[in-house]
Amino acid sequence: MAHDDHASEHEHGHLHSHEHEHAPTATAGTLPDLAKVAILINNWIDHNEGHRRTYLEWRDKLAEAGAPATVAALTRIAELTEEATAALRVAARELQEARPPKS
């Protein structure tokens, strides 16, 4: 499903809506504001964790119902989501270390 406006809220078939931001808002030739990117990354981490929990909840429900291929797929998707979240945590730590301490 193509989205013409990724900045607008939309549903993904679950109980919460969220916004997507794909491009940095900095002007050409400047670095994005580190504080803003750090906030975005932390939001993405929270978002991923919510999806991961949902995948695992549905996996467990389907395991009881007998859908082994779907159970395996949801298990793998949860693992991949955790890998993506781990990479975001590394990025968040780097940005935290790069930011000057608040005075």
One-letter identity of residue 37: V
* Domain assignment of residue 85, yes or no: yes
Pair 52, 60: CB distance under 8 Å: no
Classify burial at 5, counting beta carbons within 10 Å of its beta carbon; exposed 0-12, middle 13-18, buried 19 or more: exposed
Percent of the chain at pLDDT exceeding 70 = 64
* Domain assignment of residue 5, yes or no: no
pTM: 0.66
Q: How many domains does the chain have?
A: 1
Tokens of 45: 């981490």
Q: What is the CA radius of gyration of the chain?
A: 17
45 lies in which domain range?
Answer: 34-98
Of the listed ranges 20-29, 33-42, 59-68, 91-100, the least confidently predicted one is 20-29
Please report which confidence band the pLDDT of residue 22 belongs to, taking 50, 70 and 90 as the band edges: low
* Domain assignment of residue 46, yes or no: yes
* Domain assignment of residue 84, yes or no: yes
